[in-house]
Amino acid sequence: MEIEQLEKIASQVRRDIVRMVHSCQSGHPGGSLGCTDLLVALYFERMELKEADGKVVFDMDGSGEDLFFLSNGHISPVWYSVLARKGYFPAEEMATFRKLDSRLQGHPTTHEGLPGIRIASGSLGQGMSVAIGAAMAKKLNGDDHLVYCLMGDGEQQEGQVWEAATFAPHHMVDHLIAFIDLNGQQIDGPTVKVMNNRDLGEKYKAFGWEVMEIVEGNDMAAVLKGLTEAKSKAGHGKPVMVLLHTGMGYGVDFMMGSHKWHGVAPNDEQLAAALAQLDESLGDY
């Protein structure tokens, strides 16, 4: 796709995010808006997915295709929107977000059978361990497709993350590409005040990872270029860690850069203000 097309999809996804969270007055818009460009770039341009007759096909096995795992599962709105817009399930189903008996729960789950979701997530610190297991399974099965995993920067305060960080280089899990969403915010405030992660790049290098950065994580061209670089670094004996610099609440001016929008829903007036800043390209659900 042309960059302009991807940017239009990203704008629609951002509309979906604020509408979903507003409709149930619950959810996490800030991080979802910040990670929109990455997920759109992955699913609509960079990931190799199973398709038949021009439509995506989902199975839990995941062999013969790239896989994505969302560790910071609270930003489910962006993932649900991208999956729906890619064709995994009807866009209209987004209207059920966080409703009783919905397949679109606040944190992704598996027992509802939502296409695109392979693990329950949101208990922070666990996603990369699962992604490493999936990557090792692919290697054992002779499947050279990539496994992607997204984590939050606040999530780096979890101990299990660092157990996984030790494990992957030791076992040369080199077709794993992990991302840390560096927006500098978590639910209780700026990460530097809650528990300073300090230099995550140097930490992962010390653990044996190939480390790179995408400085402009909300610029589609920069994200695409970064994903190409990350893919070129895979398969050379080390897992790849991408430090993705994004803005909390990106795309909605009054949400940008504030931890206050980590888990707060917009009211009617705020929703209208947000939608006025976002172009509708694929049609609201």
- Residue 280 in any domain: the answer is no
55 within domain boundaries: yes
- Give residue 98's pLDDT band: very low, low, confident or very high (50, 70, 90): very high
258: in domain: yes
Predicted TM-score of the model (pTM): 0.97
Q: What percent of the chain has pLDDT over 90?
A: 98
Pairing of the two strands 67-70 and 51-52: unpaired
User: What pLDDT digit, counting tens, does each position of 155-180 carry?
Assistant: 999 999 999 999 999 999 999 999 99
pLDDT for position 22: 98
Q: Does residue 284 form part of some domain? A: no
- Structural domain range at position 256: 3-275
- 58 pLDDT band, cuts 50/70/90, is very high
- The 3-state DSSP class for residue 284 equals coil
pLDDT value, residue 154: 97
Give the closest residue to 251 by CA, choosing from 86, 15, 76: 15
Domain contains 251: yes
d(CA 187, CA 60): 32
SS (H, E, C) 66-89: CEEEECCHHHHHHHHHHHHHHCCC
What is the mean predicted confidence (pLDDT) over 88-97? 98
Mean pLDDT, residues 16-23 taken together = 98
- CA gap 77, 31 in Å, rounded: 9
Taking residues 185-213, report their average pLDDT. 97
Is residue 69 a contact partner of residue 134, using CB atoms and an 8 Å limit?
A: yes
> Distance between CA 135 and CA 253 in Å, rounded?
38
CATH of residue 224: 3.40.50.970
Residue 28 domain-assigned? yes
Residue 150: per-residue pLDDT: 98
Q: Is residue 281 part of a domain?
A: no
pLDDT band at 95 (very low <50, low <70, confident <90, very high): very high
- Per-residue pLDDT band for 215 (boundaries 50, 70, 90) equals very high
Q: Helix axis angle, 3-24 relative to 76-86, nearest 10°?
A: 130
Average pLDDT along the chain = 97
Return phi, psi of residue 241, to 5°.
-115, 125
User: Where does the pLDDT of residue 260 fall: very low under 50, low under 70, confident under 90, or very high at 90 and above?
Assistant: very high
Domains of the chain: total: 1
Confidence class of residue 187 from pLDDT cuts 50, 70 and 90?
Answer: very high
Let me know if residue 46 belongs to a domain: yes
User: Which residue do the tokens 């610190």 mark?
Assistant: 125
Query: What confidence category does residue 229 fall into, taking pLDDT thresholds of 50, 70 and 90?
Result: very high
Helix boundaries (H) for the chain = 3-24, 29-34, 36-41, 76-86, 127-140, 159-170, 191-194, 200-207, 220-233, 268-275
| Buried-exposed string 80-115: b where 16+ CB fall within 10 A, e elsewhere | bbbbbbbbbbebebbbbbbeeebbbbbbbbeeeebb
**pLDDT score of 193:** 96
pLDDT for res 213: 98
